[in-house]
Chain A
């Protein structure tokens, strides 16, 4: 068992999410930084579907009633703690602490967090108040069972720094034109690319509001359409909302471009005040970028 002594700012149970249910208004969800989460599972030797903890800004304090092997990845929490297997002895505490640079830190436990599957996933669906064990973020006093979703031995060495994503802005994020680029002036995408966008305090797992100093995009109105994570929506006031994993499944603001899957982890780590630049990417580059990350995650053989 793991007992939550202090929950931190916003700690939830996540896995790879529940794709395929958007037609019911249910976002895919899952770890916001899918790469850091996958790396954490890999380090402790878990199956990739195993659930883990996603901490935000301030991590939890956890007490273990049994020996365990854990890994802490993503947003930085003290270099002694990150990206390697850690043996936690029965009765001892793991203090994740303040996160930064980066915003979200993952804590994987060998075996996974054992909470019931709801609609095929252990992830919290915050909007629907289901999944994630409790239908809410963790709170002090919650007790978590450790599962048996083990695939291989824990890693023997620290995850190489060369195989991690940056944890600090300014962020360069690649985006592909569409789906509603036609709702904008012909030069809009180019002008967006030349703008240093600023992350506002309004960021969560559903999306990030960005300001575009010096740029005012004026889109045409569109009919409500299905939306994807990464969609760079432009609101009538000209601000941006970049949708993330818990995004609303449909939207009425046109998306000028869509952030590629391989760069969603960067947005998961962006903090208020950070600069984001969108760079035009193409599908071939997007495919290479995903391959690069998945190669880093390949099991040791």
Chain B
């Protein structure tokens, strides 16, 4: 059962699950699309991420109860699949400052960490946190390490980090608490482009080591 909760007086959060799961992302994207297609009165916009969808509404036009009814009407009626688009290659230089530490923590060599990180396809679960930041999963268990105890003040754009079962790409310079293992020269955020972010939830990508 979807959980629908208030996010203040102008938004509702629909939570379809509590774990990182490709099928839940598929459901989230189907709900996101259905809400956009329906153009429900007073619905201003939606934000999908992992297993939830945020719905902003105009409180002068509709209210939470009416919007919740619209959303509930979709529950169990959406057709969805595990997202399966073309896989985009991310040329990656694995020279991140935390790679040696991650290798120590995981009892692997740095090359072993790289092999496991680069050796699979990832699904984009969310673009959020900062402009263009691309959250991907799921990381193999063997290289799942906790966030840094204290976040860095500045992580350069293009940095590739890991935290828990997630890996992510910093699209703009920002603070950050993920373990940095590599970087890419690919530009993931451009405010003059349409859309401004290179990836969206449901996209698939692969990290390709370059010297």
- Partner-B contacts on A (CB < 8 A): 19-26, 118-119, 125, 127-131, 176-182, 222-231, 248-251, 255, 258-262, 281, 283, 286-287, 290
Contacts and interface: CB of A to CB of B under 8 A. Distances in A.
Contacts of A286: 8-9, 59
B183 to A, nearest CB: 18
A181 B7 CA distance: 10
A19 B58 CA distance: 12
Contacts of B13: 178-179, 225-226
Interface in B187-211: 189, 191-192, 195-197, 200-201
B18 A223 contact: yes
Given A128-B189, A179-B13, A226 B5 contact: no
Contacts of A176: 6, 8-9
Given A24-B127, A24-B132, A283-B63, A224 B7 contact: no
A80 to B, nearest CB: 36
A260 B8 contact: yes
A22 B47 contact: yes
Contact of A259 (B8, B47, B54, B173): B8
B16 to A, nearest CB: 11
Contacts of A130: 191
Given A20-B44, A223-B19, A225-B52, A26 B8 contact: no
B132 to A, nearest CB: 5
Contacts of A224: 49-50, 125-126, 128, 135
A250 B126 contact: yes
A290 B59 contact: yes
Contacts of A20: 44-45, 56
Nearest to B18: A223
A283 B131 contact: no
Given A127-B130, A127-B131, A128-B189, A181 B197 contact: no
B94 interface: no
Nearest to A286: B9
B113 interface: no
| 3 interchain residue pairs of minimum CB distance | A250-B128, A286-B9, A258-B8
A179 B12 CA distance: 8
Given A127-B172, A224-B126, A283 B196 contact: no
Contacts of B40: none
Nearest to A21: B196
Contacts of A22: 45, 47, 54, 128
Contacts of A181: 5
Interface residues of B, number: 51
B8 A25 contact: no
Contact of A225 (B49, B131, B189): B49
A250 B48 CA distance: 10
Given A22-B47, A178-B6, A228 B189 contact: no
A245 B81 CA distance: 35
Nearest to B46: A23
Interface string B19-57: 110000000000000000000000011111111111010
Contacts of A26: 131, 196
Contacts of A229: 8
Nearest to B171: A25
B5 A180 contact: yes
Given A180-B5, A226-B53, A283-B63, 8 more contacts: A24-B127, A178-B6, A225-B49, A226-B128, A248-B129, A283-B59, A286-B9, A290-B59
Given A178-B5, A286-B9, A290-B59, A226 B172 contact: no
Contacts of B200: 23
Contacts of B52: 223, 225-226
Given A283-B63, A283-B64, A258 B6 contact: yes
B8 A231 contact: yes
A98 to B, nearest CB: 28
A119 B196 contact: yes
A110 B131 CA distance: 32
Contact of A25 (B51, B53, B133): B133
Contacts of B45: 19-20, 22
B54 A25 contact: no
